[in-house]
Structure 1
Amino acid sequence: MTKIFIEMLKERGYTYTTQLRRKMLGTTTEKCWEILIQELKLADSISNIATEYRARAYELLGNCQFMPGAEKLVHHLYKKNVPIAIATSSAERMYLRKIEPHQNFFGMFNPVVCGGTDPAVGQSKPDPRIFLVCAERFSDNPCPEECLVFEDAPNGVMAAKKAGMQCIAIPDSDIPREAVKDATLILNSMEEFIPENFGLPCYYS
């Protein structure tokens, strides 16, 4: 969705910098534009600019690709009956659009929490509420320290740690490791993840 932010800001005479992107990653759409309006003194209202963004994003979301290693890990954990969930800052409508081409794959996740529209969440990452709500909705209601979160954004890492959970950070190449230094472990790719190091069944068990 970086492409949309770049285009929308360019149309308004601004540049979407790496520093802005780091602040916004992992937050809801409304929170993203709140940050941009404050940082750049945009004349737009949060409601109007977020509506414009969602309209553009909806057209692009049907083409999302998996992160390398994600399919292998998810299929493995599902086969081994390890509960897996999604806690996304997206609104439910945007999430459903994003998973349209991958219904079977995303059917392996339960629960799914869409922080952008779920009334139980309320606050955006780095607030930990989204992860705590997600944990509460597992059938066995695990305590936070029994949960392992995968995150690509500094705000998500902070939220997971505030929730008392372990967190694997897999940041984009333009995100410095210093920004996710509080993660339990930082990886270059999900392909590097070794399940048994976190008490999970190994790939060859």
Structure 2
Amino acid sequence: MFKKVTHVIFDMDGLLLNTEDLYTIAFQNICKPYGKVFDWSIKINIMGMKPDSAAHHTIEKLSLPVTVSQFAEMLSAQLPSIFSQSKLLPGVEKLVKHLKQHNIPVGICTGSSEKAYMAKTSHLKDFFAMFNPIVLCGDDKEVINGKPHPDGYEVTMKRFQPIPDASEVLVFEDAPNGVEAALAANMQAVMIPHDKVPFEYVKKHAEKATLYLKSMEDFNPELFGLPAF
């Protein structure tokens, strides 16, 4: 059922970091003055998108009287204070360090812009130094289309040296858009959704994913031919 892999790519928000919770706070702060509620029914569809796409979708769904650029400015103003609270999720550091110790190449493919990435990771530099490549789909000119399109994962794969075959790459994702992107890139996908998301919102993609887990702590590397803990 599972194929042996040689390379691993991680999503970042909500997968490595608790930043999906922080994004929720930031989006709610923008929507609340207009009497609008930003909840999981909207959030689940924007996770993993490029920033402008996420803003456009939210504005459209909630009929917010703002432009995408105005939304982006309001979001950007909150980044330094909110994202300084970011922290690693359970099981993440153990797995990434384990893979690095066994010379398994690890990369990141995130919808974040460089500014957002720096705000989230500046206090975790040693951890993020273990990843290469790190593809920031929000700014990267080679990534034409954000998740759920496969562009981001294909670009990340091509930046490994040497370049692996897509079938040899394992992706970790928390979001339906990310799972779609990984599968469209012909990679295997482990889905670990946010623990607060109603299962009805992820059921279809949990069934599509190569493997569904409730926590990174539950991952067994040997299933994919990776070194045992």
TM-score, normalised relative to structure 1: 0.96
Tell me the CA shift for residue 96 of structure 1. 1.7
What corresponds to 1:150 in structure 2?
A: 172
Specify the alignment match of 2:74 in structure 1.
Answer: 52
Partner of 1:116: 138
* Aligned counterparts of 2:174 and 2:30: Cα–Cα separation in 1: 23
Instruction: Please say if 1:178 is aligned against 2:198.
Output: no
The question of 1:101 aligning with 2:101 is answered no
Could you tell me which of 80, 104, 116 is aligned with 1:82?
104
Percent identity, aligned pairs only, is 37
- Separation in 2 of the partners of 1:190 and 1:145? 21
Q: 1:27, 1:89 within 8 Å by CA — same for their partners in 2?
A: yes
User: Per-residue displacement from partner, 1:112-154 (whole Å, max 9, x unpaired)?
Assistant: 0000000000211101100000000000111111110000111
How far residue 172 of structure 1 moved from its aligned partner, in angstroms, is 1.0
What one-letter code is carried by the residue in structure 1 that aligns with 2:228? C
Instruction: State the Cα RMSD in Å.
Output: 1.1
Counterpart of 1:87, as a letter, is C
Q: What is the Cα deviation at residue 57 of structure 1? A: 2.1
- Structure 1 stretches lacking a partner, 5+ long: none
Name the structure, 1 or 2, with higher relative contact order (CA <8 Å, separation 6+): 2
Runs ≥4 residues deviating over 3 A: none
How many equivalent pairs are there? 203
The alignment partner of 1:191 has SS state of helix
1:192 aligns with 2:218: yes
After superposition, the C-alpha distances for 1:57-114 in whole angstroms (9 at most, x for unaligned) are 2321122111100000000000000000000100012112211111111101000000
Gaps of 5+ in 2: 1-22
